[in-house]
Amino acid sequence: MSTVRHNRRLILLMGILALALVAYINRAQFVRALVADSIYRKHIFTPPPVSPGTSRWHRLREEAQFFWDFSEIPIARERRMDLLNPTLRPLVKEIGRRQAAGEDMEYPMHIYREVRWRLNFTSNIAVTQHRITELSQSLTRPAKEIRTADQQDPDGSWAPGLNVWYLKLYYSVDHVSQCKETPQYPLTFLDRINSPEKLDAVLSADLQDDFTRTGVFNREELDETFSALARMLVRNSRTGCYDFDPRLGGALAAFVNRWQNPATGYWGQWMVDRQGGVWKMDDMGMTFHVISDLNGHVNHLDQIAKRTLQLDQIDFPAGIRFNGHYEDHLNWDVVKIFREAWPALDEPTRQQARAEMSRMLTWCLAHSYQPDGSFKVSDLDDTPGDAYRYGVDFLAELGYFQRKDRFWTDQEFPGSRAVHDRIEAKLRSMGTGDPGLKEAYDTLQAFD
């Protein structure tokens, strides 16, 4: 009897060990399956229409393949983070230290923006490593050697340190919009979009993301390219240094209308699956930019606000959280959406939005804002310039500093003036050489 029992235990133990070995060998696939299932359960994609005659089994197989393929995007990003963050994080910390001491870090920040894009969205690790090396070298050069306000030859952009066209565009918009005379160099970097056909081709190439073939997630190129073009063509259309095609505004509006998802009201990336089907992703960050950069002149604002509330527990870029928690940067985006949509909302939706904004304010004052007038840096806003800029922007947009801006509540905030003054004093003591710090300071000054 004891021998039989012993043999059974041995067989059971061997079975458990065999299962453990199989699980260990296949752990990567298991983790990826969990990620794919998590993405599926968030319901952030509108799938392509079902082709006539397609069986249910065939449809399910195609859906499973899409979510399996898409799951590689966050998994590959985590692998890159694990590999490169030990080198990158000390450099970012040093940038933050120098910003806090009042040093001009705009040139290193240009390089860092490109590094962060490559790290988050592209698969070429060697190029990312090279740019990190260049970021490190930039910190050994005196800031006065490179002025980010200087125009660059040969393309005429104002973006030293950047090698990517959409980032050059993004960081040159203000210079182009404020230009009143012929610049030193022709703005040839704008030729790429200077016809309705060219503009649509650039935006459509970013929108249609054939990610299984390229290994690149186009989200940031689409988001920043659109935002830059909208600010240049809609908000600041007059310039004395470039002859824009007068049809560009209409072409941009047509693209926006085609881009909007009629099922949700949202904008976002269009992911192309292996069969050529298009999955339309809802993206709160992109939707914010469309609404903000077009001054709220968009369709379906009520639908957009309701969809935003549905994404309350979903992480960025689709939803309003970041790694499960609030961030001032994303909170500002959400409040801006609610502000523009407010006249179109019914009372039940307004009640939900009020509760959401109240929770955001409580979180900001308890976790992000610090008693000395500073804001915590975070994984999303990982430099003092970004932390202050978006912290102040959120509080200002919410109406925390000024009663007339409180579109959502009649509540009084008796401590708001003291918070304002502490932040302003802290910024004054640090200096505002960084653009983010200066923007935060200027925002506060407007309330004085």
Task: Give tens-digit pLDDT for 180-234.
Answer: 778 889 999 999 999 999 999 999 999 999 999 998 999 999 999 999 999 999 8
Q: Please give the pLDDT value at position 196.
A: 98
Place of tokens 């040969």: 154
Shared domain check, 432 and 412: yes
Q: What's the pLDDT tens digit per position in 330-383?
A: 999 999 999 999 999 999 999 999 999 999 999 999 999 999 999 999 989 999
pTM: 0.90
Q: What's the pLDDT tens digit per position in 4-58?
A: 555 656 665 565 555 455 555 678 888 999 999 999 999 999 999 988 877 888 8
Q: What is the largest CA-CA distance in the chain?
A: 99
Q: Residue 101's pLDDT band (boundaries 50, 70, 90)?
A: confident
Shared domain check, 439 and 307: yes
Residue 71: give the domain boundaries.
43-142
Q: Please give the pLDDT value at position 122.
A: 94
Shared domain check, 446 and 304: yes
Q: Please give the pLDDT value at position 19.
A: 47
Shared domain check, 307 and 247: no
* Distance, C-alpha 157 to centroid of its chain: 23
Tally of structural domains, the chain:
3
Residue 351 placed within a domain: yes
* Distance, C-alpha 418 to centroid of its chain: 31
Shared domain check, 405 and 326: yes
Shared domain check, 249 and 174: yes
* Token representation of residue 258: 């085609």
Q: Please give the pLDDT value at position 15.
A: 55
- Residue 237 pLDDT exceeds 60: no
Q: What's the pLDDT tens digit per position in 72-93?
A: 999 999 999 999 999 999 999 9
Residue from 43, 198, 215, 54 nearest 123 by CA: 215
Shared domain check, 317 and 286: no
Shared domain check, 245 and 134: no
Residue 159 placed within a domain: no
Q: Residue 432's pLDDT band (boundaries 50, 70, 90)?
A: confident
Q: What's the pLDDT tens digit per position in 385-418?
A: 999 999 999 999 999 999 999 999 999 999 999 9
Residue from 66, 38, 45 nearest 266 by CA: 45
Residue 394 placed within a domain: yes
Shared domain check, 405 and 347: yes
* Token representation of residue 222: 């689409």
Q: What's the pLDDT tens digit per position in 291-300?
A: 999 999 999 9
